[in-house]
Structures are given as C-alpha cells and as structure tokens.
Chains A and B, each alone.
Chain A
C-alpha cells in the first residue's frame, strides 16, 4: 500500500534503528515523551521498543482524547440521553468508557438509544433521518477532530436542522503539554510531537517549548519508520545541544497548519476559561465550547446538565500514568481490577490509552519469557 509500506520497510527500519544506536550516548538515559495516543498505540503495535536501545525510554503523554475526559462529562452526556426522545451518538472509542453509572454500551443494553458514528456528519445525518428525535453528538478530540465538528455545526445552521446538538468536549493540546512541563516530578529530554493535531495547527504552536523550555520537538507520523526517524532527529538535536521544532511528518503536516480548518474552528468555537482534565485537574483555556452564535446547537445550553463531578477511584493512578510519572503496570489497579474488559480508568479503554496499549501488547509478554523457537 502506497504511503504505508514504504514506512514499514524492514531494511530502512534496520538502518534507522542502527542510527539510533549510533547516536544514543550509552552513558545517558533519554526520556522522550510521545504526546499522541496514536503514537503510543503504534509503538506497541509494531513492537518498536524491542528494536530501541534500553537507554531510550518512551513516556506516554496525555494525547488520547478519551483518556483525558473526566468521568463527570460522560455522566452529563448520558444523563441527557435518558430522555427516550434522544439519540446519543458518539465515536466508537467512547462506547466502553465507564461513567459513574456505566458506559454508553451499558446504557445501550439498558435501553438508551446509543449509536456509534464515524464522524459528526453521520450524527447530523441521523438528525435528518429521524426528524422527530433529538440527536446529541458527544464530541471529543483534540484539534484533530474539532474542525469536523465545527463544519457539521455550520452545516446544521445553514440547513436549519433544529433537532441536532453537540455536547462539546473538544480540548486543545498545547495547554496539556504546558501542564506536563509545569509538573515538578517530570524530567523529559524531548517530545515526539502529535502528528494528527499538527495537520490542523501546524508546528509553530510548539516553538515556545524549544525556546522557553529548551526541549526539542519533532512532529511525527505514525508508521514505524516515522517514529524511528523522529527519534533520530531528536537525538541529533540533543547531541548537538540544540532545541528546536522540526517537522518529520512533512508529507501531511504544513508548518503553518490548515487555514480552512482553523477558520472553521474560529467560527464555531471559543475557549472555555477552564476545563477539567482527567488526571491533570483544571487547566485554564484548555478546551473549546460552542460560540453563542451556535447556541441553538449546543447541548449544554439546550438541556439541563447536572454538571457532575466524579472523582476517580482512589487507588486508580490515571493521573500519574497520564503525566508519565508512573508506567501503566506501576498503577495499583493495573491488570487486577482494571483490565481492557473491565476498565476502571479511561487509559484502559481507548486503544490509544497507554494502559490498554501496554496491557494488550506488552503486559502478558512481560509475564512470560521471550518466545523460544522450537523449530
């Protein structure tokens, strides 16, 4: 497959991994955070840790939108969905995320009309198809998915579709990175920048990280070779004592971002003064809400929302894992009470969550010896 196979070529991957070994100073330990959950998933899926030297430690960052959503927001959305006239539409990722009273799938089994959609436009289509129902799209995601929500709201307004609204949980990546860097227990050498988010916002918004914090950032694609090449680029900067933002994912990411997408977001959204992030607490100006101009399509304005606040179970250490302070397996609940089938924390639900990725791809492997070929 074009644009995929080239980035999985075993020869090139071997070359990149040799270059990493050559560049990495054996006397030094490198702590590199991959911000994006998609990177976390890819690192495990392709077994990249097996081909990296042991002194390169990849720390999983906060870039899984499902994982950083506080439980209260799920309960709020589902509380509206209890009305039998409401269709609750959300992405597949959301379906197993537990609220205090169960996940969307559990609510579905109890009779709530819950639908999986692949895009906000599909949710709008449901509203067209069922004009007597109220369709609520439970929107999540960073700048990656926010433009499609914005365009869908613009379409709903332009076409006068009144039985559709969005429960907006869109968050922005830069304040989350700032919160991580402000965390006193965090020592990082550099960042693998979020590729999908950057297709919208470009690379410029990360320049302060290099300038003020002295940490290199390389915006990366999601194939094995993308990630290895990004690590090479980071190591070269570290070895040269530099800190700048570089774009490894040039085939997709324009340095200045996607102006049409940014324009749509500016039209529909405004920054919330503050928003709660699971594990990171309240972060100012870190999330989007729907602008007054689109109030008629804003679920939070149209319905009574209980504004539930649910604290995570005491033993769950999602916050520490999210910040990269703890490895998934170091959480007290990991692999015991909290598994992909019975997730307690959202990090265990989404396939991009570091706990689920670690559990699915590494945990059992770490429990047994390396495969011994008997052939």
Chain B
C-alpha cells in the first residue's frame, strides 16, 4: 500500500546538467519557505492516504523538497532528461499479514510500483528494491516473498536492476518492509493531467472496489467472520495499454485508488481540476462480500483500499470505446462508466443514490474505523 503520495516533478528540458533541476533550493528570491504542516506528531493517519497524508505532503514535503512547484500530486514523475523521456516513482510496502488471500507483500512491491507508473501513462521497465528485514524473520518467509517478486517481475516484463538490504532489531518491524522504485517509458499519445479534465468527461472504473482492503482486514484475523474474497492485487498495465491503444488521446487522467480508496482519489481529482465529480452509486461494481463487510462494520466502500484497479477520466466521445476496450481485455470485464465530471459542486465529489437522493463523499479522514452498532 502507498504510504505517502508521490511528488510530481515537472519536466526538465535540455541536455546539460540535467539533474540540477532536481536540486533542493530555497525559492529564487530567497523568501522563506511556507511550511503549513502544524500537526504536533506523526500518527497512523499521516500514512493512510487521506486528508492527513495530503496535509503532510503539501504542507511539509512539497515546500521543502520541491519548492515552488504548482503541479498536482501524481503517481509518478515524468521527466525529460537529455531528450530521453522517463517516468519515475517509488513506493513502500508495509503490510500485515505478509501473505493474504490473493497476494503477498512481495507481489505487491512489484505490482504496486509498476501500477503507479502505469496510471501515470507509462510502461514500467526496470526497478530497484530495498528490504528492511526484522531480526528473527524465517528465511523461508523471505524466500517465498522474493520468489513472489520474481514471478511478478516476469509477468510484468520488468527487470530488477539493484537493491539494498537492512536488518533491524527484533520487534522493530512487522517481519519485513519493502521499498521499490520504478522507472518506465511514457506511452505515446497519452497525457495524464488533472488540469486537462473537462466538464462532461466520463469516469471509468476498471473493476469491483474494496476487495484488497477488506481481504486484508479479514486476513488479520481480528474479525470472527470469513468471506470468499481475495485481494485484487495485479498489474493494471495490460488494461492501461488496451485503453491507450484504443483511445490514447481521449485519456485525461488516471489513478489507482489504493489507500484512501475511490473517494480519496476522486476528491484529489476534483480539487486539482477545480471541477465536480458526480458518481452513480448503482454503477459502481462491488462484490457482495465487500458490501456485506462494509455494512457490518459501518465502513464506506468508497474509502476502502484497492490494489489492482484504476480510475480513468476519458473524454465523452471516447467513453464507449474505452469501456469496450477494457471489457474485452482479460481482467477488465467488470469495468464500467461510474460517473461524470461536472461544473458543480466544484472541488467536491457527489454520489447520486439509486432513488434520486445524493450525498457528498469526502476524502478519508485517518484510517477507516469500524462502528460499534
């Protein structure tokens, strides 16, 4: 799962001293950097992908690490280095338990990073990895995860080009943490940018929501019920590629709704585009087991984490072609148009219920907490 949002770095033009554009410098006039992050301590919410995460990234990381950027937060940075166009991203994986129905931390560590590249409109090519291992971790557990990574790399056609290992004392980590960084090449004709989204554009969802988050919740064994459910962890690149081939210029924006769920991803889109999103509740695909668990626990499925799904905004003339392209690609059979972009409510996401009622859906606040009754 994503622990923080990625920072987007604007394109760097020209072939000389390419990396100088990445240096951290105070703003040109030497004026003080505006740090807006005022929370007294770091809490779990700061890594949950919702409002607190965004406050941390926008209020502390962005002003100091990339001062002056007005770019929206994206899943990956697209750079032009000496004429070579590359996409670049990183992600950390902190999952308990390490293995769960449908996947494991090792597979996530490959697919998650490659998916961040995919939804930025790029094909993953190579990656590096850092393992943080806890003293006492069984070697067999580590081997199983490395094998899972190896298989995911093969499936994705991506090469591992380097890595690092650290071991921390027993009790300092949940077995293992994995950080990966990925590099990819942008897909021709695809430009993903929230600011290019227009009223009337359609919102496309690649498949049922909530499977990953609810699977992890159940796999932790804290709840006395079981469901026939497995994580949706997978590479979304084949679907993104199919979409790009069919309607590349019609794609305005993409995002994988991982931590914080569909609600948070779309609220970010609303905010970055200054437009409104209207979701059609009955069109949102969801498995009964997810719906049942959310009903029982009082959770909003729109806030539950996904791994192998993505949201796309496509221009209206491409909408039918886009759905058809996804539905004809393996794994995209359940994709749907789930909403549209509107002028109002500006900067907000509104869900229309099946019988004409409506409600605002906000970003996730903290971690989703179950209700008692």
Contacts and interface: CB of A to CB of B under 8 A. Distances in A.
B200 A375 contact: yes
Interface size of B as a range: 35 or more
Contact of B365 (A109, A341, A361): A341
Contacts of B354: 8, 10
Interface string B351-365: 011111111101001
Contacts of B315: none
A148 B288 CA distance: 27
A370 to B, nearest CB: 8
Interface stretch (A46-54, A261-269, A317-325): A46-54
Nearest to B200: A374
A364 interface: yes
A4 B295 contact: yes
B139 interface: no
B200 A96 contact: no
Interface stretch (B245-253, B320-328, B337-345): B337-345
Given A50-B358, A364-B348, A93 B340 contact: no
Nearest to A228: B355
* Residue among B45, B51, B373 facing the most chain A CB atoms (10 A cut-off): B373
Contacts of A8: 354
A364 B340 CA distance: 19
Interface string A25-64: 0000000000000100100111111110000000000000
Contact of B350 (A106, A118, A365): A365
B353 A46 contact: yes
B138 interface: no
* Residue among A41, A48, A51, A341 facing the most chain B CB atoms (10 A cut-off): A341
A47 B199 contact: no
**Main SS class of interface, B:** loop
B223 A10 contact: no
Interface string A1-14: 10010001010011
B291 interface: yes
Given A360-B360, A365-B358, A373-B278, A1 B372 contact: no
A105 interface: yes
Given A93-B372, A144-B373, A369 B344 contact: yes
A96 B366 contact: yes
B340 A374 contact: yes
Contacts of A140: 372
Contacts of B366: 96, 105, 341
Interface in A316-375: 340-341, 350-352, 360-365, 367-375
A109 B42 contact: yes
Contact of B370 (A91, A145, A367): A91
Interface size of A as a range: 35 or more
A266 B357 CA distance: 43
A48 B288 CA distance: 23
Contacts of B371: 38, 91-93, 350-352
Interface of B: 41-45, 51-52, 199-200, 222-224, 276, 278, 288, 291-292, 295, 297-298, 316, 340-346, 348, 350, 352-360, 362, 365-366, 369-373
Given A1-B295, A51-B357, A364-B360, 10 more contacts: A50-B358, A105-B45, A110-B41, A118-B223, A224-B355, A362-B359, A371-B278, A371-B342, A371-B352, A373-B342
24 contacts: A1-B291, A13-B355, A41-B298, A46-B353, A47-B353, A51-B357, A65-B372, A65-B373, A91-B372, A92-B372, A93-B369, A116-B370, A118-B222, A145-B373, A341-B366, A365-B358, A368-B345, A368-B348, A371-B276, A371-B278, A372-B342, A372-B344, A373-B342, A375-B200
List of 8 A-B pairs having minimum Cβ-Cβ separation, nearest first: A47-B357, A92-B369, A368-B345, A50-B357, A361-B359, A92-B370, A91-B372, A10-B355
